Structure 1
Amino acid sequence: MGALRALFLTKPLTRRLCIAVSRKPSYLHKLGTEPLSPETTGQIVDRAAQEWGDRDALVSVHQGHRLSFRKAKEEADKLAAGLLGLGLKTGDRLGICGPNSSHWYLTFIAAAQAGFVLVNINPAYQIPELQYCLTKVGVKALIAPESFKTQRYHEMVCAIAPEVNTCAPGQIRSKRLPDLSSLIMITDRQLPGAFRFSDVVESATPELVSTVQQLQSQIQPDDGCNLQFTSGTTGQPKATLLNHHNTVNNMLIFGKRAELSRKAHRICLQVPFFHCFGNVLGIMASLIYGATIVLPGASFKAEESIEAIQKERCTVVYGTPTMYVDLLAIAKKTKNLNTDTLDLGMGAGALFSKELIQDILQTFKLRRFCVGYGMTETSPLSFLSMPDDTPEKQTSTVGCIMDHVEAKVVDANGKMVPFGTPGELLIRGYLNMLGYWDEDGRTKEILGLDRWVRTGDQFVLQEDGYGQVVGRIKEMIIRGGENIFPKEIEQVLEQHSEILEAQVIGVPDSRLGEEVCACLRLVDGAKLTADQVKQYCKGKIAHFKIPRHIRFMADFPKTVSGKIQKFKLQKMVLEEKSLGTG
């Protein structure tokens, strides 16, 4: 995998669980009860509009927007047609950068309808990160709001490509963004060099809408449809390319096991669309099973979630452990709390404790809480809870292997270990990514000629198909569901004139699971403070990557050959009495 840690994790191997060791090799192939589907995302959209026409597809509470499945398809078809009118063609990369909104939802569908490759961009990215993403995959058109929180996206694009300020909309010609031709802003204002989102939708002609509909017969399930950026060992994100076959089938199987087919569910989606959790388990699964997505806000706020669950009568809630911790805190303070409609909870993104799951089940009176395991490169789920799992299974494993998936656990030499023995987990099947965009070397590091994906996770596989995450082979930090690779932060820190050497590690945090800790060696005579280091990072890396903890050290523990031993460094930090920010 080279870069990305598992996206969906529950609590690692617990002391309470007795591991049965077998002599049989750790290999399983879970046969599916039904064949895989050859459908594309666009065909799923068309079927959803026909089957559930007037049912709510999306309720964006903070925007006051409500779309039925039929209306969502109509609006998305017009957006797709408008984008064709701007010169985009099937296979072109369409970027979307922004918080959860009806516009994000429609853009997802529009890209599928016209065969564009949707590029998910984290709205917290700063200018250098945004520029890297746009140029890496050759984004031809970018859709973004004018602003979100402290971000000013039009200004950010103009900082990268000043030509935008003086060019006509759709006529961007920039040396620094050579592939970008159109900037589409979600705003009522007419900004220099940019189209308004609403104008692109309204520009659709009947002929172009007809063209969109005709394209459905040409788009194939094996065509790439989505690029999601993951952190890389080089310090730069890698673009994971998924196809329709990956995500459609993963969600067909997920939805059945998670029982989304039991009734017309209403999902309180607290997680961001730009993550797999939001756009695959959220949008894709809802289109397949006719579920309504309820967006409480542009980004997560527990108060808004509680209000949305009650007002919109949600039956399912998605969230990371951090979100659930905050949600529980607000729920317990809410007078006359009424969340009786909630039936199912889905948790992913970081480590869940047994106590947290029990608190969630009791407070919200849930019938079931699902846990699972996966990664962006496996589109994303490879393990998921079963409907009849015992509480012990729910809290001590990451679920059971998914249908149509092969899994094996190997030692450092690539040889299979016996069931019940820790080793690296490898996954193979329909769910594996096509590869990293324009990164053949990095792709080969994780995806071999035998099509096994290396997860980089220390894992125990049992004969009954259940698994446990024991530890990490790689150094990825998971902070509140955000995957962070230390190398990227280290490179930024080491550009500071007073920092001689930087090593970044993850340290436990009761709320976020992990926090970022930077251990620094300064040049002789330097008197840098922790606050100055954090201030230096602002604007260079996303806010969630800025180290909370700073440690100034005279030297780092090293091997005889001079290699820094991060595990010893982490132990040194954890043995301190307190993890302050200074």
Structure 2
Amino acid sequence: MLNKKLELVAKYALKQGLKINALRSLSTTLSTSISHKHHVVKEPLVYRNIGQELELTVSKYGDVEAIVSCHEGKRYTFKSLLAEVDRLAAGFRKLGLQQGDAVGLWSPNYVHWYLGMLGAARAGLTSVGINPAFQGPEVAYCLNKVGLKAIVAPEIFKSQNYYEILRGICPEIADAEPGKIKSEKFPHLRSVIINSETHLKGALRFDDLLDLSNRTEQEEIGKYQTKISPELPCNIQFTSGTTGNPKAASLSHYNFVNNGIHVGNRNQLEGERICVQVPLFHAFGVIITIMAGMSKGATLVLPAAGFSPKDSLAAIVKEKCTVIHGTPTMYVDLVSAQRELQVPLGRIKKAITGGAIVSPQLILDVKKVLGVESMRSVYGLTETTAVIFQTLPGDDEESVLHTVGHLQDHVEVKVVDADGNCVPFGQPGELCVRGYVTMLGYHGDKEKTEETIGADKWLRTGDQFVLQEDGYGRIVGRLKEMIIRGGENIFPREVEDFLNAHPQIVEAHVIGVPDERLGEEIVAFVRLHNDVDPKSFTVEALRAYSKGKIAHFKVPRYVVPIDAFPKTTSGKIQKFKLSQMFENNKKN
């Protein structure tokens, strides 16, 4: 529509004999009224692979601690890290893995995950993050979906025995020599590597993999980096789908390195020590944390293998952490733990959150209860290498509370209506993204890739979004989550933000459920403070509280107090499970 208007303007202008400069000025005025931005900055994008980025970091920050694993008692400087990574990369190649082969990393936050991801990158392999909570059928899907040649896992974490799960879906492991698995069900799988002190049938110990190569073979890894194109895949992320099987988003070295650099720049990570609460396998862990930290020589501190607010507080104190990484639900639990324990935390400069929408009330709570100087948000998708928008250094409180930050460096975005036309600034529509952050595609799924990324390279996010003329943005909600109640469009985000400011509510999440009369009704699941009687928190009480503060049609019809929300390992609320819980309660 806009292009047609400009064409008509141009024809009219030429007829009237207007000068070309005046025409350009008029074109610019018209074009700047639509929701489109391309944020170009002075610092250029780089053409390096992950291995080369690590070498550059070692040259700058070699004696700085790269990672500290509190629960394992392990520490690596960037210099010692590179040596260990190359031992692992050479071990992978000694096993027969070749450039482009996929290696699964199925583990909570252990150092072997971190080494595995970097070792795979230095060997020219593609690492595949697998949710450590996955069970046999889910792991079987992952093995075949991307043709995993090898998989790295711990032996046991909590009640989960990873080795026995693998044997359960692939019995041939127990009868095979390490590195020579042959399975009709999993034709690509050759090696199972277990981080264990025990020798397990058919599996190779992680420490033995490190010792598999000699010094010459390890030195060859450094020379091999010039043969790994930055445009090649380096990682596959399984999307956290709520229906059906997850899709496998393929990301490149170029995606990883550049997004890491610009996230690191925005978050001013140089010299910082980061308390890492997020799982490493997730995009928040691998890009916003590992790659951004690497680009600035920051130290990653792992408090525990799985998220534990008490362990996080202890690690912040012991390791003098100055930055915290976590999802909104992690911060909810961290704030609750700190209110109870009152730990003297020291100076925390920044708390960085992403992975889900964060409410303004939670931001205020984090700053007040944890004593954080600056709260920063990142927003993006797995398919966009984690970050599209991000808080700028020095942003005022209004921007932090009510936007997801400013458009990321060198990224282009637009907001469109249902017909694909750009809407004016300040109006909601679907956010589309183009640039170095967009994934290569969904592995083995051309149809889904083409649904998501058009021939013009615009990636459709599925998020209802508002873009401001100054480059800041706001999430309205997921298009698929929008509730239509009696003809009124309601986004759960708005109702959740309102409920999260209620003095008796710790955390609230909203879903829509079918209703014969209105089409859909609103259900609010609420986690209350410990001193609040759930029986007293009624719909009537909520209506009274809401009067004059929010439109009547946005007030939930049903309120369900809940002790804990069902979450993915990456900290996202599983709203489909809330729907199932509501339906089951109705039946009972």
- State the TM-score, normalizing by the size of structure 2: 0.78
Q: Deviations over 1:65-87 (max 9, x none)?
A: 11111111111100111111110
Question: Aligned equivalents of 1:231 and 1:380: distance in 2?
Answer: 13
The equivalent residue for 1:89 is 98
Change (3 A) 1:85 1:449: same
Q: Deviations over 1:540-559 (max 9, x none)?
A: xx996983564686xxxxxx
Whether the 8 Å contact between 1:550 and 1:581 is mirrored in structure 2 is: no
Query: Which one has the largest radius of gyration?
Result: 2
The equivalent residue for 1:380 is 386
The equivalent residue for 1:143 is 152
Change (3 A) 1:363 1:194: same
Q: Within 5 A, what are the aligned runs for 1:327-342? A: 327-335=334-342, 337-342=343-348
Q: Deviations over 1:493-549 (max 9, x none)?
A: xxxxxxxxxxx999644459xxxxxxxxxxxxxxxxxxxxxxxxxxxxx99698356
The equivalent residue for 2:46 is 37
Question: Aligned equivalents of 1:543 and 1:402: distance in 2?
Answer: 26
The one-letter code sitting in structure 1 at the alignment partner of 2:577 is: P
Change (3 A) 1:508 1:318: farther
Whether the 8 Å contact between 2:65 and 2:75 is mirrored in structure 1 is: yes
Find 1:285's aligned residue among 286, 289, 292. 292
1:449 matched to 2:436? The reply is no
1:209 matched to 2:226? The reply is no
The one-letter code sitting in structure 2 at the alignment partner of 1:287 is: M
The one-letter code sitting in structure 2 at the alignment partner of 1:455 is: T
Question: Aligned equivalents of 1:55 and 1:43: distance in 2?
Answer: 18
Question: Aligned equivalents of 1:506 and 1:436: distance in 2?
Answer: 34
1:324 matched to 2:331? The reply is yes
Q: Over the residues paired in the alignment, what is the CA RMSD in angstroms?
A: 2.6
Change (3 A) 1:509 1:46: farther
The equivalent residue for 2:184 is 175
Question: Aligned equivalents of 1:209 and 1:549: distance in 2?
Answer: 52
Which secondary structure does the structure 2 equivalent of 1:28 belong to?
A: strand
1:469 matched to 2:475? The reply is yes
Question: Aligned equivalents of 2:444 and 2:51: distance in 1?
Answer: 26
Find 2:198's aligned residue among 174, 189, 205. 189
Q: Deviations over 1:224-283 (max 9, x none)?
A: 10000014587111110100111111121111111113xx10000000001000111111
After TM superposition, give the deviation of residue 52 of structure 1 in Å. 1.6
1:357 matched to 2:363? The reply is yes
Change (3 A) 1:65 1:189: same
Question: Aligned equivalents of 1:505 and 1:136: distance in 2?
Answer: 38
Question: Aligned equivalents of 2:284 and 2:174: distance in 1?
Answer: 36
Find 1:70's aligned residue among 79, 95, 108. 79
The one-letter code sitting in structure 1 at the alignment partner of 2:265 is: K
Find 2:431's aligned residue among 412, 425, 429. 425
The equivalent residue for 1:252 is 261
Which secondary structure does the structure 2 equivalent of 1:253 belong to?
A: helix
Question: Aligned equivalents of 2:288 and 2:32: distance in 1?
Answer: 36
The equivalent residue for 1:125 is 134
Question: Aligned equivalents of 1:362 and 1:437: distance in 2?
Answer: 44
Change (3 A) 1:543 1:353: closer
Question: Bigger shift: 348-357 or 179-188?
Answer: 348-357
After TM superposition, give the deviation of residue 373 of structure 1 in Å. 1.1
After TM superposition, give the deviation of residue 365 of structure 1 in Å. 2.4
Whether the 8 Å contact between 1:549 and 1:580 is mirrored in structure 2 is: no
Q: Deviations over 1:77-119 (max 9, x none)?
A: 0011111111011111011001001111111110111111000
Which secondary structure does the structure 2 equivalent of 1:216 belong to?
A: helix
Change (3 A) 1:543 1:364: closer
The equivalent residue for 2:321 is 314
Q: Within 5 A, what are the aligned runs for 1:410-559? A: 410-475=416-481, 508-510=524-526, 547=577, 550=580
Whether the 8 Å contact between 1:33 and 1:403 is mirrored in structure 2 is: no
Q: Within 5 A, what are the aligned runs for 1:52-67? A: 52-67=61-76
Which secondary structure does the structure 2 equivalent of 1:200 belong to?
A: helix
The one-letter code sitting in structure 2 at the alignment partner of 1:315 is: T
Q: Deviations over 1:470-510 (max 9, x none)?
A: 1221249999xxxxxx9xxxxxxxxxxxxxxxxx9996444
After TM superposition, give the deviation of residue 334 of structure 1 in Å. 2.2
**Structure 1 vs Structure 2: percent identity of aligned residues?**
45
Question: Aligned equivalents of 2:575 and 2:143: distance in 1?
Answer: 20
The equivalent residue for 1:397 is 403
Question: Aligned equivalents of 1:505 and 1:364: distance in 2?
Answer: 37
Which secondary structure does the structure 1 equivalent of 2:423 belong to?
A: coil
Whether the 8 Å contact between 1:421 and 1:461 is mirrored in structure 2 is: yes
The one-letter code sitting in structure 2 at the alignment partner of 1:349 is: G
Whether the 8 Å contact between 1:94 and 1:141 is mirrored in structure 2 is: yes
Which secondary structure does the structure 1 equivalent of 2:461 belong to?
A: strand
Richer in helix (by share)? 2
Which secondary structure does the structure 1 equivalent of 2:480 belong to?
A: coil
After TM superposition, give the deviation of residue 366 of structure 1 in Å. 2.1
Question: Aligned equivalents of 1:26 and 1:545: distance in 2?
Answer: 30
Which secondary structure does the structure 2 equivalent of 1:324 belong to?
A: helix
Question: Aligned equivalents of 1:54 and 1:23: distance in 2?
Answer: 48
Which secondary structure does the structure 2 equivalent of 1:305 belong to?
A: helix
The one-letter code sitting in structure 2 at the alignment partner of 1:434 is: L
- State the TM-score, normalizing by the size of structure 1: 0.79
Unaligned runs of 5+ in 1: 1-21, 480-485, 487-503, 513-541, 554-572, 574-578
The equivalent residue for 2:55 is 46
Which secondary structure does the structure 2 equivalent of 1:442 belong to?
A: helix
The one-letter code sitting in structure 1 at the alignment partner of 2:37 is: L
After TM superposition, give the deviation of residue 367 of structure 1 in Å. 2.1
Find 1:298's aligned residue among 301, 305, 308. 305
Change (3 A) 1:379 1:506: farther
Question: Aligned equivalents of 1:165 and 1:85: distance in 2?
Answer: 21
Question: Aligned equivalents of 1:256 and 1:339: distance in 2?
Answer: 25
Question: Bigger shift: 544-553 or 143-152?
Answer: 544-553
Change (3 A) 1:509 1:387: farther
Q: Within 5 A, what are the aligned runs for 1:254-273? A: 254-261=263-270, 264-273=271-280
After TM superposition, give the deviation of residue 312 of structure 1 in Å. 0.2
Find 1:104's aligned residue among 100, 110, 113. 113
Which secondary structure does the structure 2 equivalent of 1:547 belong to?
A: helix
Change (3 A) 1:218 1:329: same
Question: Aligned equivalents of 1:546 and 1:348: distance in 2?
Answer: 20
1:28 matched to 2:58? The reply is no
The equivalent residue for 1:242 is 251
> Which of structures 1 and 2 has the larger relative contact order (alpha carbons within 8 angstroms, sep 6+)?
1
Which secondary structure does the structure 1 equivalent of 2:466 belong to?
A: strand
Question: Aligned equivalents of 2:450 and 2:83: distance in 1?
Answer: 41
Whether the 8 Å contact between 2:235 and 2:252 is mirrored in structure 1 is: yes
The equivalent residue for 1:3 is none
Whether the 8 Å contact between 2:242 and 2:576 is mirrored in structure 1 is: no
Change (3 A) 1:301 1:508: farther
After TM superposition, give the deviation of residue 206 of structure 1 in Å. 1.7
Question: Aligned equivalents of 2:315 and 2:301: distance in 1?
Answer: 7
The one-letter code sitting in structure 2 at the alignment partner of 1:447 is: I
Change (3 A) 1:183 1:266: same
